[in-house]
A = this chain, B = another copy of it.
């Protein structure tokens, strides 16, 4: 059983929640059999006692039945949650989506899709923030504008116009707390509960989970090397499709031009939204960034979502939605009810950072650093793995995907072993939306310097050989 643990609380609680969520969502139907505790413990790499304890809790609460030595089964009728026990427990967020450096101590951490703090012009940022802090003293005593600070809306609109060729005015920009808030607002304000949303498979859990938490179903659609397979989304009642055209997350593929055209046509015919997540398009190495789908949007169906987490820093918690003014108005009404607007100080500093050209200079300089690291990573992969490694999604973004010839199950084992050797990495399987696993390892290069990247790949290579050897040995034994 492929079980995503959310990394919150004890392992027992995580297993309990993940199973309960599957029962409540119907993935585990009434009467179906839970895997043996020994088997699940091995799969998850935890002690059997932990799994047994989680099962016992589910039995005690009426979610499962267990009779003597027979398998634990899902109850035909799940217990009704009492009013004060919570209502729509949001689906657990896999640990994989976002991490904090403090979460684990790694020697080499290839998990991150974030740039290196050392590349950022901290002195300039601190100067702008100090200047704004002075001007801010009185403004701080008002509630912020729910739709965003006017100067920042204007600065984002100008930036998109100049850098992405997007005709855009400030009334088309909503400032959000990163792209995550954009997803949550869009899901609740614009997506009817009765219709589903198509998502890329594999894809970004942060989107699907925000949508599910809003009571909206997601329908995974496979991604090939031209992006989401648009032919597969023609069917069914969908209110929206979520895509990452500039650098598919996590496979890294660029959506091809015919696929883009087909997607826009589909959306127009279906009367559906396209949610375009532009999360790291700024980092394209071989060519200028592709124009966003939004640029070809004649009917206001494309909601472009961007973030400054990867180009400034994530703690900024600022991102944006670009849409028609009427749509922005609906979203900002909901934002006002959600948090009464985002704090103006960071917004004011960011607007100055954009207006004074610091942001653009920072992007150009970062791109040079990142291209160097990316080159070192690819060279190391080629050096160690040679022909056995297939590279994907290396044209842009802050990670590449490498298929080194392991199965998805072996990769899961590799990720676990690597962890105990101080090497942090993710497998594509962790981002499956449908349960279907495809092999591939994500190697983030934004944070490590060349030397570290080379050592990390050398270690990875050794661990991959170990896994293959152990597996071959295991087969011989049985």
Please list the residues of chain A having a beta carbon within 8 angstroms of any beta carbon in chain B: 6, 8-9, 81-84, 86-90, 92-93, 98-102, 114-117, 120, 122, 126, 129-130, 133-134, 136-145, 176-178, 180-181, 184, 188-193, 195, 206, 209-210, 213, 239-240, 271-273, 301, 309, 313-317, 327, 329-330, 333-334, 336-346
Contact = CB atoms under 8 A, between A and B. Distances in A.
Contacts of A344: 315
A178 B313 CA distance: 23
A141 B92 CA distance: 23
Nearest to A102: B142
Nearest to A86: B330
Nearest to A118: B138
A31 to B, nearest CB: 26
Given A137-B122, A143-B100, A180-B339, A86 B190 contact: yes
A418 to B, nearest CB: 21
A177 B318 CA distance: 14
Contacts of A138: 117
| Most B-side CB within 10 Å, residue of A9, A191, A338 | A338
A86 B189 contact: yes
30 contacts: A8-B333, A83-B195, A83-B240, A84-B239, A86-B330, A87-B193, A90-B334, A92-B333, A93-B336, A100-B142, A100-B145, A116-B141, A120-B137, A120-B141, A126-B133, A129-B133, A142-B314, A144-B314, A176-B339, A177-B177, A178-B340, A184-B337, A184-B338, A184-B339, A206-B340, A213-B337, A314-B340, A317-B339, A339-B339, A343-B346
Contacts of A189: 86-90
Contact of A329 (B9, B120, B143): B9
